[in-house]
Chain A
Amino acid sequence: MSEAIPKTMYDKIWANHIVEDRGNDVALLYIDRHLVHEVTSPQAFDGLRAAGRSIHRIDSIIAVPDHNVPTKNRHLANPDPMSTAQLTALEANVKEFGLDYIPMEDERQGIVHVVGPEQGFTQPGVTLVCGDSHTSTHGAFGALAFGIGTSEVEHVMATQTLQLKKSKNMRVTVTGELPVGCSAKDVALTIIGAIGTGGGTGYVIEYAGPVIEALSMEGRMTLCNMSIEAGARAGLVAPDNKTCDYLRGRPYAPKAGQYEGAVTYWKALTSDEGALFDKEIMIDGNEIVPLVTWGTSPEDVVAVTGRVPAPKEFSDPAKQEAVEKVLDYMGYAAGTSMTDFKIDRVFIGSCTNSRIEDMRAAAGVVKGRKVAPNIIEAMVVPGSGLVKLQAEEEGLDKIFTDAGFEWRDPGCSMCLAMNPDKAKPGEHVASTSNRNFVGRQGPGARTHLVSPAMAAAAAIAGHFVDVRDF
């Protein structure tokens, strides 16, 4: 009798979801879970209506508005008629199709990628999709989770499946121990800096090693969230006791009689000893430092103690030319020290870093200090109403507001500037979000991606500082 071929976690979850094998690694794959928000769903609901189709499994969906909800003055009318139209459309659609819906006024409302795990909707071994690329976040639980376009949203609603080609397997192993002052955000940025924004294209990345095992569930979510910034549609972390403990008792998690069986199933999902990965990346966790992005791509990372690179430091002529344009956009010269220019605005929030642990890390730095006078606005936007309540119970809101931060209501906010939370042209923003793209936080805005502790420290100092010495 021959031994079974060792499988990766991704191989196992993929195999468990094949409805029809269509050859050449293409399969009709079953989708267990679907998160819906206001921006990428209206055209999908319209498509269903136009074709007279229904939703295959309404119990597989939770809908929640997040992308363009206001983060203050929610009792007032939304000043943006386009946003209002989208929010109203979502509400009408969930009503018409009978979906579970968390409205803006509900204390559970928040960013889909914070709400899903919080509600226990995200579970190991499931396939989970959402019309948002940061769906990779949910891989922190060992869920195969990835972003889809609006046509696919409609397809999943109507059929509970997607026709997909299997990705390749990559494993990123982070050895050693994460130094004090560094967080999951620095791990993510280190990896993206190492493999580039296209480095993970065509792969699902499994994160492994002692640094990953030591991360909290919140930290694992931050890490998996940014898989897409390395080009990988999904990231995965093996479920362990932390995962199971996190889920126990949450509203959508397996109930008492089923929980033990679920745990057994979850733990069997981990990659087998000797499973083959198409690509292996090793990162020395002991060498990770607090990072800052200097350019307009998440791969443009440098240590906070470092300098803005010069175009000539890159060998590729295309990259050299690109760097010149980037420096022009960012408004500083090559060689500028990352601690030497003024920060204008600070944003702590987004599906990357808006969970309770992020709030605590930032508050720990802020406590007893004041926001620097040159900071035009510093805001903290918790990822969900439940995160907000928890933080308020711990007195964190008071720490922030005493220091001069604004304490907002949950939503995507200045991560993508679809609501009124925007930076102005030319402003440098210390941001805990995931994309420093041109104009992402407002036309002409200059985004620097950092961890919550680093963003908090920049707010206090008025410029970037090494949080290890702060």
Chain B
Amino acid sequence: MEKFTEITSIATPFPRVNVDTDIIIPAKHLKSIKRTGFGEHAFETIRFDADGDRIEGNVFDSPKYKDARILVTGDNFGCGSSREHAPWAIAELGFRCIIAPSFADIFAGNCVKNGILTVALPQADVDALLLAADGGQNICVNLDEQSVSCGNARYEFDFNPAHKEMLLDGLDEVGQTLQSSAAIGAYEGKQKLMTPWLF
């Protein structure tokens, strides 16, 4: 996994609340058995009309935001289905960081596994960043300092320390956990006595 330390980029403003993972990637596109190829269908109902024609002026295809690596959006982003295809699709659009007032739990966890940083900030700060994004300003997100800077403004955010470490180091989480094999084995030994019907 690619390490995440700091990103400076323009941002795509998408001020919509309760964006569910069906909006991010509709279920009909989940049939691939690979991890790639979801970007072209990302935000399909926002980007294409019923006939499959591109909707003019949608932020995801706008030349203005072509180089954006940050998405600024609304409350409860990523709610609904647990599909990891959602962060896979978002990553293929070029985003490495999403800023919103809040995120659904499963989605936020899935982002970490794919090197995407989710930054939760108060609504007023997100509103300011939406304006800045709209104005084409650069936003800088620093994970080590847990800060977002834009112009003269600077915001700090909370982040799960375990997830921070994973993103900073770009770790293989399975490999890391397997280092605890002895502890897992010991736990199982104990549980075989406690709840033998589960073994």
* A residues lining the B interface (CB < 8 Å): 16, 19-20, 22, 24, 26, 28, 30, 32, 39-40, 42-43, 46-47, 51, 53, 56, 59, 67-68, 80, 82-83, 85-86, 89, 123, 125-126, 131-133, 135, 146-152, 154-155, 158-161, 163, 165, 167, 197-198, 201-202, 228, 231, 233, 253-255, 258-259, 261-262, 265, 297, 318-319, 322, 416-418, 425, 435, 437-440, 443-444
Complexed CA–CA distance, A154 and B26 (Å)? 23
Q: How far is the CA of A152 from the CA of B22 in the complex (A)?
A: 20
Q: Indicate with 1 or 0, residue by residue over B21-52, a CB within 8 angstroms of chain A CB atoms.
A: 01100111011111100000000010000100
CB distance from B112 to the nearest CB of A (A): 9
Q: Are A261 and B197 in contact (CB under 8 A)?
A: yes
Contact A201 B177 (CB under 8 A): no
Q: Which residues of A contact B27 (CB under 8 A)?
A: 67, 416-418, 440
A123 surroundings in chain B (CB, below 8 A): 197-198
Given contacts A89-B33, A149-B113, contact A440 B22 (CB under 8 A): yes
Confirm or deny: B17 has a beta carbon within 8 angstroms of a beta carbon on chain A: yes
> In the assembled complex, which residues on chain A have CB atoms less than 8 Å from the CB atom of B83?
39-40, 149
- Residue among B26, B33, B82, B184 making CB contact with A42, cutoff 8 Å: B33
Contacts A26-B160, A201-B103 supplied; 4 other A-B pairs, CB < 8 Å: A47-B174, A51-B174, A150-B35, A198-B18
Q: When A438-B23, A438-B45 are in contact, do A28 and B180 touch as well, CB less than 8 Å?
A: yes
Query: In the complex, what residues of B have CB within 8 A of residue A228's CB?
Result: 80
> Shortest Cβ distance from A84 into chain B, in angstroms?
9
**Residues of A with C-beta under 8 A to B35:** 43, 46, 150
CB-based contact B105/A20 at 8 Å = no
Question: Known interface pairs A125-B195, A258-B197. Does A201 touch B33 (Cβ–Cβ under 8 Å)?
Answer: no
Instruction: Tell me the smallest distance from the CB of A259 to a CB of chain B, in Å.
Output: 8
Q: Is B178 in contact with chain A by the CB < 8 A criterion?
A: yes
User: What would 12 A/B residue contacts be, using CB atoms closer than 8 Å?
Assistant: A19-B183, A24-B161, A43-B35, A46-B33, A59-B199, A152-B110, A163-B177, A198-B102, A231-B79, A231-B105, A416-B81, A440-B27
CB distance from A134 to the nearest CB of B (A): 9
Contact pick for A28, options B20, B45, B113, B183, CB 8 Å? B183
Count class of interface residues, chain B: 35 or more
User: Please, how many angstroms separate the alpha-carbon atoms of A68 and B175 in the complex?
Assistant: 32
Nearest chain-A residue to B30 (Cβ)?
A39
Instruction: Judge whether B30 and A418 touch: CB under 8 Å.
Output: yes
Nearest chain B residue, comparing its CB with the CB of A132: B82
Q: Of the candidates A56, A86, A165, which one forms a contact with B162 in the assembled complex, judged by CB atoms under 8 Å apart?
A: A165
The 6 closest A-B pairs by CB, nearest first: A254-B197, A149-B84, A151-B113, A82-B31, A42-B33, A149-B110
Whether B109 contacts A149 by the Cβ 8 Å rule is yes
- Is the C-beta of B104 less than 8 angstroms from some C-beta in chain A? yes
Q: Are B104 and A231 closer than 8 Å at their CB atoms?
A: yes
- Evaluate contact between A435 and B177: CB separation under 8 angstroms: no
Q: Is B146 an interface residue (CB 8 A)?
A: no
- A197 to B107 alpha-carbon distance, docked (Å): 14
- Most B CB atoms within 10 A — which of A51, A131, A198, A265? A198
Contacting residue for B31 out of A68, A163, A201, CB 8 A: A68
Contact code string B163-199 (vs A, CB < 8 Å = 1, else 0): 0000000001111011010011001100100111111
Nearest-Cβ distance from residue A434 to partner chain B, whole angstroms: 9
Compute how far the CA of A314 lies from the CA of B170 in the bound complex, rounded to whole angstroms. 44
Minimal Cβ-Cβ distance residue in B for A203? B105
Q: What distance in Å separates the Cβ of B22 from its nearest Cβ neighbour in chain A?
A: 4
Cβ–Cβ contact B31 & A83, under 8 A: yes
Residue in B closest to A45 when the chains form the complex, CB atoms = B33
B76–A231 CB distance below 8 A: yes
Chain B residues near A40: list those with CB within 8 A. Answer: 82-84
**A443, B104: Cα distance in complex, Å:** 24
> How far does the Cβ of B129 sit from chain A's closest Cβ, in whole Å?
15
- Check B173 against A151 for contact (C-beta < 8 Å): yes
**Cα-based distance from A163 to B184 in the complex (angstroms):** 12
Specify which chain B residues have a CB less than 8 angstroms from the CB of A319 in the assembled complex: 17
* Neighbouring B residues of A435 by C-beta, 8 Å: 20, 22, 80-81
Q: Tell me which residues across on chain B come within 8 A of A32, comparing CB atoms.
A: 198
